[in-house]
């Protein structure tokens, strides 16, 4: 039952007041968007959104994504008013201050009810596509009684203008994600001023052309908002609801202008707005009736939740559903037997192939994986273990044909991981991590287990040439906080890396995998789990140790060859396989110093930029790599040209030792 209009107006005004007062107190922030969308949000949260503020993690809740993350005061207001334990009014008073969960932009790890970190425009909506996919997939697996929720998005002009929007809505339309509804804050304003300055696109036509249903409403008329949302809910297609709003609505002298977008309104204007809105309460005070009305909106969701718990209690797959939503791997999951079989019968394969072999095991053992590729399935070797396609006709499939949408794929995988119940992995060429980089960054920031299967990881891809040959990519990804970048040397390390990646609960992994075949360097059956320390001594010096070669991935076997040649000359050389610098950096000082001792010449060998390797070999070490763009030629020719061969490396080491 909807409340009468006058009371709804005050509920919306509570959002406006909290937003303008919090931004004023912080002397920074964005009041315009929350004030403009207050009416739409009030209708959505009171009459439609299925959620239970007392149980924010309830698995079958609707997901609400504030894609226009600069309007963070909108979601903080909604969470507080509807009765979530946090944010408290004190938290809101401390908006944007150190220690407050009400950060400048919403952070998924700071507040329950914030389903995703948003702020980088466009990505919220694209993550919502992944959430809607995960919902349909789990619905297909566990049934309507347990999984039956919607994904709501509030997006601004900016979210719709970003390039990723095209990727995201193309996917959602194709996959017929009818339970996804985007409420567009159609206010004709961005930071620089009117949208006329920069766009004349017919957005509604674009959405219709990609298979979306489009509705429009007056975003300040409760009945009209309800009509449009009802239409969206009824339509089988994903829906865009264009909500015509006035940015900063309620600010008498500034509303409708970009002045309200990202600056405090000022004390005088806030006082004038209070008059216009009929809002007498002091800053951060919510009149009892208004708060009671807001808290009352939670009853609908609490009831839905209680009914769900009853159904769930008797559900045949209850425990499995709980396991998956908790993100726990099945008890006893391990790749040990498979790894031992490799030790017995070594293989010479590309690590992308080794990844496929590992995936055949993983996908058979873990029903929660959802794989895919951005149109490079045959190159990334991501389809393994008999998993079938995820399609509009069959959401139970576990393989996504993402199309040529790397950024959209990465963002949607974030959404899947955030939704929970699934473990997403997806592939493209490593060089195109640049295309997904902004989403990889959000995987890391949001602490999500997303696994990037990035193949063709060096000049070793050969003939496709410099546009396709990563140079700076591995190192630049290693710089990203909370991201594991793994470059396995052979089939054994690849399996170990997969297992490590799957066991992470709060960080993503990039697997950098070779196109070219590599000999198996790990053949000792009793040496297991070596990759877990990030780096380990693969070969111990025979003669007195003077050199430590540190290599990764496809260059490890080259380092072994160089070490053998050095030993022939009486120079003892260790070889360290640097699988993952981030994991190595986490080891204690003793372990690190033992692998990289001060009294030996340390030499890095990696088919990529040498930038940063001084961190491991020291300023008096030797860094062997490629500090220019590659070239188009067969891989073996390129390795020779760029000096990544034992006979090119050894003389440099001898010079250094003798010099």
Ligand X SMILES: Cc1ncc(C[n+]2csc(CCOP(=O)(O)OP(=O)(O)O)c2C)c(N)n1
Using CB under 5 A, list all residues that contact Mg ion. Answer: 156-157, 187, 189
Mark residues 168-187: x for contact with ligand X by CB under 6 A, - for none: -----------------x-x
Interaction partner, residue 70 (ligand X, Mg ion, none; CB < 5-8 Å by kind): ligand X
Joined tokens for residue 353? 């192939």
From the candidates 141, 162, 368, 406, which is the catalytic residue? 406
Residue 35 binds to ligand X (criterion: CB under 6 A): no
C-alpha 482 chain-centroid distance:
12
Do the Cβ atoms of 570 and 522 come closer than 8 Å? no
Rg (CA), the chain: 28
Give min distance, CB of 4 to Mg ion, in A.
Answer: 30
Binding-site member from 106, 156, 173, 415 for ligand X (CB under 6 A): 156
Residue nearest to ligand X (CB): 156
Q: How far is the CB of 571 from ligand X (least distance, A)?
A: 52
165: contact with ligand X by CB under 6 A = no
Among 40, 73, 78, 121, binds ligand X (CB under 6 A): 121
User: CA–CA distance from 114 to each of 111, 152, 410, 596 (Å)?
Assistant: 6, 12, 20, 43
CB of 187 to Mg ion, least distance (A): 4
> Does position 116 bind ligand X by CB under 6 A?
no
Q: In what order do the strands lie in the sheet with 399-401?
A: 399-401, 369-373, 423-429, 451-455, 509-513, 484-486
CB of residue 156 to Mg ion, shortest distance in Å: 5
Q: How near is the Cβ of 254 to Mg ion at its closest, in Å?
A: 14
What residues from 312 to 341 belong to the interface with ligand X (CB under 6 A)?
A: none
Residues with Cβ < 8 Å from 416, sequence gap 6 or more? 130, 131, 133, 134, 370, 422, 424, 450
406 is annotated as an active-site residue: yes
Nearer to Mg ion, 249 or 478 (CB): 249
Give the alpha-carbon dihedral of 230, 232, 236, 239, to 10 degrees: -170
Contact 623, 593 (CB under 8 A): no
**Nearest to ligand X of 107, 185 (CB atom):** 185
Interface with ligand X: number of residues (CB under 6 A): 18
- Do residues 239 and 212 touch, judged by C-beta distance below 8 A? yes
Rounded least distance, CB 618 to ligand X, Å: 39
Beta strands in 204-292 (DSSP E): 213-218, 239-244
Work out the angle between the directed axes of helices 5-26 and 72-82 (0-180°, nearest 10).
Answer: 120
Least CB distance from residue 216 to Mg ion, whole Å?
A: 16
Q: Does residue 203 interact with ligand X by CB under 6 A?
A: no
Residue 33 binds ligand X (CB under 6 A): yes
**Per-position x/- string for 66-95, each x denoting binding to ligand X as judged by CB under 6 A, each - no binding:** --x-x-------------------------
Query: Does the footprint of ligand X cover residue 149 (CB under 6 A)?
Result: no
Nearer to Mg ion among residue 37 and residue 325 (C-beta): 37
Q: Three-state DSSP class for 384?
A: coil
Task: Pick the closer one to ligand X by CB: 3 or 411.
Answer: 411
Residue keyed to tokens 């949302």 = 229
- What's the closest the beta carbon of residue 115 comes to Mg ion, in angstroms? 22
Q: Considering only residues 29, 53, 87, 120, which one is a binding residue for ligand X as defined by CB under 6 A?
A: 120
User: How far, in Å, CA of 608 to CA of 289, rounded?
Assistant: 64
Q: Nearer Cβ to Mg ion, position 44 or 189? A: 189
- Cis peptide bond N-terminal to 87, omega within 30: yes
DSSP per-residue letters across 518-572: E------TT--SGGGGSEEEEE--SSSEEEEEEE-GGGHHHHHHHHHHHHHTT-E
> Which of 54, 191, 292, 306 touches ligand X by CB under 6 A?
191
Q: Show the site string, 220-259: x = touches ligand X by CB under 6 A, - = not.
A: ---------------------------x------------
- Is residue 190 a contact point for ligand X (CB under 6 A)? yes
Closest residue to Mg ion, judged by C-beta, is 157
User: Residues, the chain, total?
Assistant: 659
Whichever of 228 and 247 has its CB closer to ligand X, that residue is 247
Closest by CA position to 607, among listed 580, 641, 576: 641
Q: Angle between the 123-142 and 406-419 helix axes, to the nearest 10 degrees? A: 50
Q: Just list the catalytic residues.
A: 406
Judged by the rule CB under 6 A, the positions of this chain that interact with ligand X are 32-33, 68, 70, 119-121, 156-159, 185, 187, 189-191, 247, 261
């Amino acid at each position: 039952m909807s409340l009468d209009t006058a009371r709804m107006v005050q509920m919306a005004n509570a959002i406006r007041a909290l937003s303008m007062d919090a931004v004023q107190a912080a002397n920074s922030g964005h009041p315009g968007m929350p004030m403009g969308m207050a009416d739409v949000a009030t209708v959505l949260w009171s009459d439609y959104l299925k959620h239970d503020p007392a149980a924010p993690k309830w698995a079958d809740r609707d997901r609400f994504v504030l894609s226009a993350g600069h309007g963070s005061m909108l979601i903080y207001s909604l969470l507080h008013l509807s009765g979530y334990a946090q944010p408290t009014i004190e938290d809101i008073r401390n908006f944007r201050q150190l220690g407050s969960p009400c950060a400048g932009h919403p952070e998924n790890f700071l507040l329950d009810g914030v389903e995703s970190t948003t702020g980088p425009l466009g990505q919220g909506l694209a993550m919502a596509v992944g959430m809607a996919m995960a919902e349909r997939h789990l619905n297909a697996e566990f049934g309507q009684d347990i999984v039956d929720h919607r994904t709501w998005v509030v997006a601004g002009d900016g979210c719709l203008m970003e390039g990723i929007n095209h990727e995201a809505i193309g996917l959602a339309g194709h996959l017929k994600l009818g339970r996804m509804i985007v409420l567009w804050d159609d206010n004709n304003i961005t930071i620089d001023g009117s949208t006329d300055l920069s766009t004349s696109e017919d957005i509604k036509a674009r959405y219709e052309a990609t298979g979306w249903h489009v509705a429009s409403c007056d975003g300040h008329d409760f009945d009209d908002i309800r009509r449009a949302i009802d239409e969206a809910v009824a339509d089988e297609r994903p829906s865009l609801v264009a909500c015509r709003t006035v940015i900063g609505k309620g600010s008498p002298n500034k509303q409708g202008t970009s002045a309200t977008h990202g600056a405090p309104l000022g004390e005088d204007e806030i006082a004038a707005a209070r008059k216009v809105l009929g809002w007498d309460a002091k800053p951060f005070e919510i009149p009892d009736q208004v708060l009671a009305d807001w808290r009352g909106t939670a009853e609908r969701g609490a009831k839905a939740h209680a009914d769900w718990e009853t159904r769930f209690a008797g559900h045949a797959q209850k425990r499995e559903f709980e396991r998956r939503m908790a993100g726990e791997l099945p008890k006893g999951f391990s790749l040990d037997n498979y790894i031992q079989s490799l030790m017995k019968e070594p293989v010479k394969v590309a690590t992308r192939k080794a990844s496929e072999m590992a995936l055949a095991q993983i996908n058979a053992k873990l029903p929660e994986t959802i794989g895919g590729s951005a149109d490079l399935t045959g190159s990334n070797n991501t389809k393994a273990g008999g998993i079938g396609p995820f399609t509009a006709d069959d959401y139970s499939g576990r393989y996504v044909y993402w199309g040529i949408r790397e950024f959209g794929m990465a963002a949607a995988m974030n959404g899947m991981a955030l939704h929970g119940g699934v473990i997403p992995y997806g592939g493209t060429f490593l060089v195109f991590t640049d295309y997904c980089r902004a989403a990889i960054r959000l995987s890391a920031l949001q602490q999500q287990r997303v696994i990037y299967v990035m193949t063709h990881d060096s000049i070793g891809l050969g003939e496709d040439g410099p546009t396709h040959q990563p140079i700076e990519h591995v190192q630049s990804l290693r710089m990203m906080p909370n991201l594991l970048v793994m470059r396995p040397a052979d089939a054994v390390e690849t399996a170990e890396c997969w297992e490590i990646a799957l066991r992470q609960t709060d960080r993503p992994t990039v697997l950098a995998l070779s196109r070219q075949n590599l000999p198996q360097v790990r053949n000792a059956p009793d040496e297991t789990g070596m990759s877990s320390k990030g780096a380990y001594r693969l070969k111990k010096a025979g003669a007195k140790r003077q050199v430590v070669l540190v290599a990764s991935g496809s260059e490890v076997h080259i380092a072994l060859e160089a070490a053998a040649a050095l030993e022939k000359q009486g120079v003892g050389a260790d070889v360290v396989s640097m699988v993952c610098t981030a994991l190595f950096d986490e080891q204690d000082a003793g372990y690190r110093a033992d692998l990289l001792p001060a009294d030996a010449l340390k030499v890095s060998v990696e088919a990529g930029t040498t930038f940063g390797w001084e961190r491991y070999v020291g300023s008096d070490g030797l860094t062997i790599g490629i500090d220019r763009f590659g070239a188009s030629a067969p891989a073996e020719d390129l390795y020779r040209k760029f000096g990544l061969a034992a006979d090119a490396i050894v003389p440099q080491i001898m010079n250094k030792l003798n010099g």
